[in-house]
Structure 1
């Protein structure tokens, strides 16, 4: 009996020791977890706050409110339709900022000329050039305006709706390349605010463009056939006049542009008020 009592007491003592040790061990683990994981939680919280602040800053940068709102006009048209001449004319006005196409960038990407390569072999280099065009045009749209009115040569919209579309329809851009560019473009349009208040369409006939193109003798354009200009012309017409291909992001002001320079300068002046008052149209 005495032995049995001793054994029972011994077991109870062991159980108490085990319980006490386990509780102490769990407390130590809990304390360690607090010390180890709390800093991680703090870092994650700060990361989320930083991400939120970054998104807010981006939103403030891209959305035009109050005094930050500038009038954005895109000058669209075929190759050699007179876009550069139009922009040069309006650049003499103090309240107008002019942004030409970044052709110099397309001619020199770390020593490479993707523009010339595309004209030489569009099936091979179309995606390369148009990816870079999309990037540089987006940069143009998002750059800080320096005047109340901004006039741009073409836009990210025509880059996709005209030139990428032409490569694809003519069979010179594979399905996968077109799909990749389209995915990129759709994401940009859905997630980034790209304002356009007016599109000035310099409407020209392909034959006139072809004659002007030959006169200005840009190296990359020497191999452009008139059939290419005809295709580009029809895409412009379907988009901006017939409105049967893609959504037009702004009202369209059509200026017939087959005329010689003196008459074209007169037409630009005739339409100056319509252009500068586009926001109120």
Structure 2
């Protein structure tokens, strides 16, 4: 068995020590900020990440959608949208794995900015599948057990959550303008459900634990106005502060 000071390696994790709470942590990255950009589908996360990617000391990680579309030749993302009851657990198990991989990968800059997080994967998208009756209770229980084990045993630090708060109607209009094949069948009702889950989690704070301070940015404006908002909030975001 490895001692706490030794390295534990697998295909996805490289852990080097334990925290005072007994969680596996990485060495040498305690001072690096992690910012998660959260929001509904088509709320403007890509625009936000592209804006901050021009800053030299920020590492930007987008959602690994290409992985979700191609797992050894299979497209679990597309399958989930076609038949969520059958394929929901398949996709969400893989999303949980790939998001954990992103959280734990070595940070190559003083700051990391991520598109969503392992937390929203569980609290928003898995929760929505379950509440809508499209995920069987046994599937939800298994995913919950995995998530709880991960968060109880592995340190997944987040310093700030930037919530791009946009109306479901705005997101629906933007979806019509995008060219992602899987998103063409997303109804307004789905976006409304995702919006409510985000509001309960990050605004009302009545549903699940919020792992970091939250900076709320209104995201219903057009591209140019959104860029102005990012410029206005730039100092707060880069300092990892919501005040």
Same fold by TM (over 0.5)? yes
**Structure 1 position 255 matched with structure 2 position 210:** no
The aligned residue for residue 202 of structure 1 is 164
- After TM superposition, give the deviation of residue 63 of structure 1 in Å: 3.0
Q: Post-superposition shift, 1:65?
A: 5.9
Number of residue pairs the alignment of both structures matches? 234
2:114 corresponds to 1:152: yes
CA distance in 2, matches of 1:145, 1:216: 31
Asked if 1 retains the 8 angstrom alpha-carbon contact of 2:7 and 2:17, the reply is no
The structure having more radius of gyration, on CA atoms, is 1
> C-alpha deviations, 1:163-187, integer Å up to 9, x for none?
0000000000000000000000000
Determine which structure has the larger strand proportion and give its number. Answer: 2
CA-atom RMSD in angstroms: 2.0
Q: 1:60 aligned to 2:17?
A: yes
CA 1:131–1:145 in structure 2 vs 1: closer, same or farther (change >3 Å)?
Answer: same
Q: Which residue of 1 aligns with 2:21?
A: none
Q: C-alpha distance in 2, partners of 1:280/1:227?
A: 31
**Is 1:76 paired with 2:29?**
no
User: Out of 74, 83, 86, which is 1:121 matched to?
Assistant: 83
SS of the counterpart of 1:53? coil
The structure 2 residue matched to 1:233, chosen from 195, 200, 204, is: 195
Structure 1 or 2: more helix by fraction: 1
Note the residue ranges of structure 1 that are not aligned, 5 or more in a row: 1-47
SS in 2 for 1:200: strand
Question: 1:60: how far off?
Answer: 3.0
Structure 2, unmatched stretches of 5+, are 19-23
- The answer as to 2:225 corresponding to 1:272 is no
TM-score by length of 1: 0.79
CA contact (8 A) 1:64 1:70 kept: no
Q: Give the whole-Å Cα distance in 2 for the aligned partners of 1:126 and 1:205.
A: 25
- Distance in 1, matches of 2:137 and 2:216, equals 33
Deviations 1:53-103 (A, max 9, x none): 345972438535666531000000000000011000000000111000000
